[in-house]
């Protein structure tokens, strides 16, 4: 409740319009179909059971309203659900709640998702990347390449990665093509599709 | 009331004794100790039968009266034998003339008691109020016939023609005789006999249940009398007289009738008379055997040692003393086998069963079907008393809310004054209390053992169930706590951070100087959230939200060791998944910390309703579950779910932990 108001304020401060604020999955689906917003920010836990109503509502929203992107906020990392969600296509984001406190990053992620991109929490990515198994192709990556792969998985663009690592976009591109080669992924430069492939690859490797 | 009962018993004994005294006088006559002027007195060969015929009703009457002093049939039998026996001492008391005169007159009285019994058998009451007239007419007929015949003025028949009738030619007697005044009453006597037969026939037709059985006894025995009479008549035609054999048959029929009446009347307390007969037989036989043994030893030793020596007496006594106990049980066995078959076999059955239990071939709980067999009541069941929960349970340990209320009888079994069980049995068994008591006494130990086992099993199940409930409640509590941490404190902290961020963004330019401090505060808030997340994860691994298989994979991923995971268990109860998760957690930690393992493998499968978990490593081995250590804690955790944990850890060959936890469905 408190967080919802704070979050709405944050978004409005940043120049976005908040069309509705609701407290449960049923009313959420109702207002989404009424307003068809660009983005729905959904808490995983909602009444009545506080289990995974938010997760199911998110999938439902994407199914019924492809124009509405969904950003799911979770209280803790559930990598399987996160990977399943983000790996299923664009327009999905999965972040821990406290990412909100890094306002710029959060708004950036929200915008990415709105534009058909993805956002996967760094914590989830960290779990996906650990540990390097002996027979794993990931073991062949250099530490820097692994870092870049993590940021790719989070949904960042090459420019975003370059900004974060304090390198040029050109260097990032080199790393990316090296990584894709090592993992045997054949992709064009499209950031969004790249994310699905990487996430799917990592999610798949975590589930032998 | 009790005093009156005692008085009645004494009177009954008195009558029986008087009858015996009369018979003794008769015996002295027969043995010619007391001279008699009457000729044609009873011959010596016949006398025992006559004595038996008179004594039988007295003895049975006495036996019934001792138990049921108010029973009318007892008194009919006692008086029925006493009155005719008075005749035997009449000569001593009133002289030979009166003796012969009264003998002639009282012949009808020989039939009086069977008629009386026929009227009131088996409950001592007449069939209906109307039968009071019939009974009254019978009493008048018998009484007046006898009274009138006492005045019979006719001389005494041969061979006692030498003895004078004391009322010879008296006027009253002449009037009665000449006018045939006695004839209607004699007809009345005959009619009473027929009425007696009719009464029995009617009663037999209307009877049911126990009364029916009683009537069967009587009718069966009463049939013997016509048979005996039939033989007498037939023998009269063919052989010119039945003689001694007819007489013996008649006596036998009478004795049988009396015995049948006795059995039928004391049916409820049959065991008492039954036991009396049993004990009498045992002790008479035993006494004879012991006396024989004593005599044999005395004689045998008398040849060797000088007879009359103290040694001989001492030795013979010793032999008898030593032989007493084994002999007694042998004789008791023999008599039981001969005369109380059901009881003998029932007790035997239970003893055989105890032997089988001792040899480990049967479970003590099988006493229930064995009892049913021994008591010949296939539906008999035993319900064990569980004092701790104040309820009954059957042999499988299932609680019984209430004792069955289906008309069956219940027998409470006690041991040292404490209730152990209740036998629910057919009400018919109440009529064989001896069988019931003896079989239950023999089975006492088995019943107590079975009860203890049922009780222990029941309590164990209770404890296991409560332990499982406690563990389940523990998990539930952790889950609630974890949720509270996430949805309460964490949520608040995040929203606090958001408010600070908004505040930061709306700061006026001159206040921008505060921004780094606010950044730091938000950083602290973020750290607090991280801490909180760590705590919540420790309380209950949220990884389990996605099921055991996913949690195990996450666990393997976060382990510094390469861990091969084979998880195909599907979803099971959350508390069991948690237990399994902690087992793997602890086992992998051990593999890293203590076993110096280089790799590990985890498998979780479901087989035959159980979750089978195996964690193995290639470390140094030698792991044991020490009290208070991690592995012992795991053992308890697994046991709480009714599962088992096995550690195979030979030194130098790695460690393998096998866990099986039952999970229904």
Residue B1 has pLDDT above 80, yes or no: no
**Residue located via tokens 């602890």:** B586
Q: What is the mean pLDDT of residues A6-17?
A: 87
B497 CB neighbours in chain A (<8 A) are 98, 100-101
CA distance A46 to chain B (A): 10
Residue B504 Cα distances to B318, B498, B543, B601, angstroms = 117, 10, 36, 51
Residue B506 in contact with partner chain A when CB distance is under 8 A: yes
What was the pLDDT predicted at B2? 61
Whether residues A25 and A59 share a domain: the answer is yes
Residues 6 or more apart in contact with residue B102 via CB below 8 angstroms? B87, B90, B94, B150
Could you read off the pLDDT of B419-466 as tens digits, one per residue?
889 999 888 777 677 788 888 888 888 899 999 999 998 888 888 888
B560 CB neighbours in chain A (<8 A) are 131
- Split at pLDDT 50, 70, 90, the class of A207 is very low
Q: What is the mean pLDDT of residues A132-141?
A: 64
The pTM (predicted TM-score) of the whole model is 0.48
CA distance A133 to chain B (A): 7
Interface contact flag, A76 B486, Cβ < 8 Å: yes
A13 CB neighbours in chain B (<8 A) are 502, 505-506
Could you read off the pLDDT of B469-485 as tens digits, one per residue?
888 888 888 888 888 88
CA distance A97 to chain B (A): 7
What was the pLDDT predicted at B603? 92
Residue B557 in contact with partner chain A when CB distance is under 8 A: yes
Whether residues A106 and A169 share a domain: the answer is no
Residue B76 has pLDDT above 80, yes or no: yes
Whether residues A35 and A90 share a domain: the answer is yes
How far apart are alpha carbons A23 and A48 in whole angstroms? 10
- Closest CB from A6, A50, A130 relative to B483: A50
What was the pLDDT predicted at B593? 81
Residue A126 has pLDDT above 70, yes or no: yes
Whether residues A115 and A147 share a domain: the answer is no
CB B134 within 8 A of CB B117: no
Domain around A42: 2-121
Whether residues A103 and A174 share a domain: the answer is no
Residue B599 in contact with partner chain A when CB distance is under 8 A: no
CATH number where A115 lies: 3.40.50.2300
CA distance A87 to chain B (A): 17
B546 CB neighbours in chain A (<8 A) are 78, 80-81
CA distance A138 to chain B (A): 13
- Split at pLDDT 50, 70, 90, the class of B140 is very high
Residue B293 Cα distances to B283, B284, B328, angstroms = 15, 14, 14
Give the closest residue to A20 by CA, choosing from A44, A2, A41: A41
Give the closest residue to B560 by CA, choosing from B583, B591, B534: B591
What was the pLDDT predicted at B261? 85
How far apart are alpha carbons B128 and B525 in whole angstroms? 105
Residue B158 has pLDDT above 50, yes or no: yes
Least confident of A189-198, B514-523, B535-544, B580-589: A189-198
B557 CB neighbours in chain A (<8 A) are 127, 130-131, 206
Residue A173 has pLDDT above 60, yes or no: yes
Whether residues A78 and A174 share a domain: the answer is no
Token code pair at residue B18: 């008087």
A3 CB neighbours in chain B (<8 A) are 491, 494-495, 498
SS3 B613: strand
Higher pLDDT, B283 or A73: A73
- Closest CB from B498, B546, B565 relative to A3: B498
Higher pLDDT, A205 or A38: A38
Higher pLDDT, B588 or B336: B588
Whole-number percent of chain B with pLDDT over 70: 93
- Split at pLDDT 50, 70, 90, the class of B194 is very high
With CA atoms as reference, the chain B residue closest to A51 would be: B545
CB B652 within 8 A of CB B606: no
What was the pLDDT predicted at B375? 87
**Residue located via tokens 């990392």:** A77
Could you read off the pLDDT of B218-247 as tens digits, one per residue?
777 777 777 778 777 777 777 766 567 777
Residue B562 in contact with partner chain A when CB distance is under 8 A: yes
What was the pLDDT predicted at B659? 92
Domain B544-662 falls in which CATH fold? Answer: Heat Shock Protein 90 (3.30.565)
Whether residues A101 and A22 share a domain: the answer is yes
With CA atoms as reference, the chain B residue closest to A106 would be: B498
Whether residues A78 and A137 share a domain: the answer is no
B554 CB neighbours in chain A (<8 A) are 79, 127
Q: What is the mean pLDDT of residues B649-662?
A: 88
With CA atoms as reference, the chain A residue closest to B537 would be: A76
Interface contact flag, A6 B558, Cβ < 8 Å: no
Least confident of A186-190, B490-494, B531-535, B621-625: A186-190
CA distance B647 to chain A (A): 28
- Split at pLDDT 50, 70, 90, the class of B665 is low
Report which listed range, A85-89, B36-40, B537-541, B610-614, is most confident: B610-614
- Closest CB from B490, B533, B562 relative to A134: B562
What was the pLDDT predicted at B353? 92
**Contacts A–B by Cβ distance under 8 A:** 88
Interface contact flag, B495 A2, Cβ < 8 Å: yes
Interface contact flag, A130 B558, Cβ < 8 Å: yes
Higher pLDDT, A131 or B420: B420
Residue B568 in contact with partner chain A when CB distance is under 8 A: no
Residue B538 in contact with partner chain A when CB distance is under 8 A: no
With CA atoms as reference, the chain B residue closest to A128 would be: B557
Residue B654 in contact with partner chain A when CB distance is under 8 A: no
What was the pLDDT predicted at B90? 80
Number of domains in chain A: 2
Residue B558 in contact with partner chain A when CB distance is under 8 A: yes
CA distance A35 to chain B (A): 26
A 10 A CB-CB count for B90 gives 21
Q: Helix/strand/coil (H, E, C) string of B271-312?
A: HHHHHHHHHHHHHHHHHHHHHHHHHHHHHHHHHHCCCCCHHH
CA distance B503 to chain A (A): 10
Whether residues A23 and A103 share a domain: the answer is yes
- Closest CB from A76, A98, A134 relative to B497: A98
Residue ranges of the domains in chain B?
A: 1-92, 275-338, 343-464, 483-538, 544-662
Residue A208 has pLDDT above 50, yes or no: no
Interface contact flag, B546 A10, Cβ < 8 Å: no
Least confident of B241-250, B382-391, B531-540: B241-250
With CA atoms as reference, the chain A residue closest to B505 would be: A13
Angle at B635 between CA B630 and CA B638, to 5 degrees: 125
Please identify, among A121, A137, A161, the residue that sits at the C-terminal boundary of a domain: A121
With CA atoms as reference, the chain B residue closest to A204 would be: B553
Provide the mean pLDDT of chain A: 80
CB A191 within 8 A of CB A176: no
Residue A201 has pLDDT above 80, yes or no: no
Whole-number percent of chain B with pLDDT over 90: 8
Interface of B with A in 454-483 (CB under 8 A): 483
Q: What is the mean pLDDT of residues B519-528?
A: 89
Higher pLDDT, B236 or B613: B613
Please identify, among A102, A121, A140, the residue that sits at the C-terminal boundary of a domain: A121
Whether residues A85 and A41 share a domain: the answer is yes
A45 CB neighbours in chain B (<8 A) are 483, 486-487
Please identify, among A121, A155, A172, the residue that sits at the C-terminal boundary of a domain: A121
Interface contact flag, A6 B546, Cβ < 8 Å: no
Whether residues A60 and A38 share a domain: the answer is yes
Residue B603 in contact with partner chain A when CB distance is under 8 A: no
A7 CB neighbours in chain B (<8 A) are 498
Whether residues A70 and A114 share a domain: the answer is yes
CA distance A189 to chain B (A): 30
Provide the mean pLDDT of chain B: 82
CA distance B641 to chain A (A): 25
Residue B522 in contact with partner chain A when CB distance is under 8 A: yes
Higher pLDDT, B565 or A197: B565
Which residues share a beta bridge with A69?
A39
- Closest CB from A6, A50, A51 relative to B499: A6
Could you read off the pLDDT of B262-301 as tens digits, one per residue?
888 776 444 444 565 567 668 768 877 887 888 888 788 7
CA distance B501 to chain A (A): 7
Mutate to test the interface with A, among B493, B501, B559 (most CBs of A within 10 A): B501
């Amino acid at each position: 409740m408190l967080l919802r108001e704070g979050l709405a304020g944050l978004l409005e401060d940043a120049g976005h319009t908040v069309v509705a604020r609701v407290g449960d999955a049923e009313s959420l689906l109702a207002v989404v179909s009424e307003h068809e917003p660009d983005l729905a920010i959904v808490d995983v836990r909602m009444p009545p059971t506080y289990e995974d109503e938010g997760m199911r509502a998110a999938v439902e929203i994407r199914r019924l309203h492809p124009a509405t992107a969904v950003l799911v906020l979770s209280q803790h990392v559930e990598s399987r659900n996160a990977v399943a969600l983000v790996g299923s296509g664009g327009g999905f984001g999965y972040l821990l709640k406290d990412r909100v406190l890094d306002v710029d990053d959060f708004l950036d992620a929200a915008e990415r998702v709105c534009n058909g991109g993805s956002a996967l929490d760094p914590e989830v990515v960290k779990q996906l990347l650990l540990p390097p198994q002996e027979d794993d192709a990931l073991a062949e990556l250099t530490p820097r390449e692994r870092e870049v792969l993590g940021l790719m998985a989070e949904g960042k663009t090459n420019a975003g990665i370059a900004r974060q690592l304090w390198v040029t976009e050109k260097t990032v591109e080199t790393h990316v093509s090296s990584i894709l080669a090592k993992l045997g992924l054949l992709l064009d430069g499209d950031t969004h599709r790249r994310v699905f492939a990487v996430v799917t690859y990592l999610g798949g490797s975590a589930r032998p | 009331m009790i005093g009156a009962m005692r008085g009645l018993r004494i009177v009954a004994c008195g009558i029986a004794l008087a009858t015996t005294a009369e018979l003794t006088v008769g015996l002295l006559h027969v043995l010619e100790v007391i001279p008699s002027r009457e000729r044609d007195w009873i011959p010596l060969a016949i006398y025992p039968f006559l004595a038996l015929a008179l004594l039988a009703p007295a003895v049975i009457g006495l036996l019934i009266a001792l138990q049921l002093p108010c029973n009318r049939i007892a008194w009919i039998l006692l008086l029925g034998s006493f009155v005719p026996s008075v005749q035997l001492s009449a000569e001593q008391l009133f002289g030979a003339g009166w003796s012969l005169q009264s003998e002639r007159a009282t012949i009808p009285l020989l039939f009086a008691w069977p008629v009386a019994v026929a009227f009131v058998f088996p409950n001592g009451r007449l069939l209906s109020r109307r039968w009071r007239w019939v009974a009254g007419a019978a009493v008048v007929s018998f009484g007046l016939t006898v009274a009138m015949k006492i005045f019979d003025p006719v001389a005494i028949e041969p061979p006692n023609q030498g003895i004078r009738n004391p009322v010879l030619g008296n006027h009253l007697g002449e009037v009665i005789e000449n006018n045939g005044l006695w004839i209607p009453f004699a007809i009345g006597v005959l009619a009473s006999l027929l009425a007696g037969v009719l009464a029995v026939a009617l009663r037999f037709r209307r009877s049911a249940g126990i009364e029916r059985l009683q009537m069967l006894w009587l009718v069966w025995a009463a049939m013997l009398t016509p048979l005996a009479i039939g033989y007498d008549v037939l023998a009269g035609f063919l052989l010119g007289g039945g003689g001694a054999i007819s007489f013996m048959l008649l006596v036998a029929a009478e004795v049988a009738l009396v015995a049948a009446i006795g059995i039928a009347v004391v049916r409820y307390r049959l065991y008492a008379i039954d036991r009396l007969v049993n004990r009498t037989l045992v002790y008479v036989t035993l006494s004879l055997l012991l006396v024989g043994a004593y005599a044999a030893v005395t004689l045998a030793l008398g040849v060797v040692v000088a007879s009359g020596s103290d040694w001989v007496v001492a030795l013979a006594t010793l032999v008898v003393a030593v032989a007493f106990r084994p002999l007694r049980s042998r004789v008791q066995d023999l008599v039981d086998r001969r005369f109380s078959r059901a009881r003998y076999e029932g007790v035997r059955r239970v003893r055989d069963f105890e032997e089988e239990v001792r040899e480990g071939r049967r479970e003590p709980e099988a006493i229930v079907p064995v009892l049913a067999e021994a008591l010949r009541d296939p539906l008999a069941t035993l319900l064990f008393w569980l004092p701790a929960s104040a309820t009954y349970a059957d042999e499988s340990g299932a609680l019984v809310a209430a004792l069955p209320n289906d008309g069956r009888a219940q027998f409470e079994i006690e041991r040292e004054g404490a209730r152990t069980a209740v036998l629910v049995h057919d009400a018919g068994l109440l009529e064989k209390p001896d069988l019931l008591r003896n079989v239950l006494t023999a089975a006492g130990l088995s019943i107590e053992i079975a009860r203890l086992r049922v009780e222990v099993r029941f309590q164990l199940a209770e404890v296991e169930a409560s332990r499982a409930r406690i563990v389940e409640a523990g998990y539930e509590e952790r889950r609630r706590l974890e949720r509270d941490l996430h949805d309460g404190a964490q949520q608040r902290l995040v929203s606090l951070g958001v408010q600070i961020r908004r505040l930061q963004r709306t700061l006026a330019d001159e206040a921008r100087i505060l921004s780094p401090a606010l950044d730091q505060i938000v950083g602290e808030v973020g750290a607090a959230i991280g801490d909180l997340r760590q705590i919540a994860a420790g309380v209950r691994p949220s990884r389990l939200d996605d099921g055991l298989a996913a949690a195990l994979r996450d666990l393997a991923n976060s382990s510094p060791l390469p861990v091969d995971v084979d998880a195909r268990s599907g979803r099971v109860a959350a508390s069991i998944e948690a237990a399994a998760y902690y087992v793997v957690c602890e086992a992998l930690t051990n593999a890293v910390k203590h076993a110096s393992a280089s790799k590990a493998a985890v498998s979780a499968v479901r087989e035959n309703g159980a979750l089978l978990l195996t964690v193995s490593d290639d470390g140094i081995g030698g792991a044991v579950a020490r009290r208070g250590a991690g592995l012992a804690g795991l053992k308890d955790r697994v046991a709480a779910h009714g599962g088992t944990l096995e550690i195979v850890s030979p030194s130098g060959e790695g460690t393998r932990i096998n866990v099986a936890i039952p999970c229904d469905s």
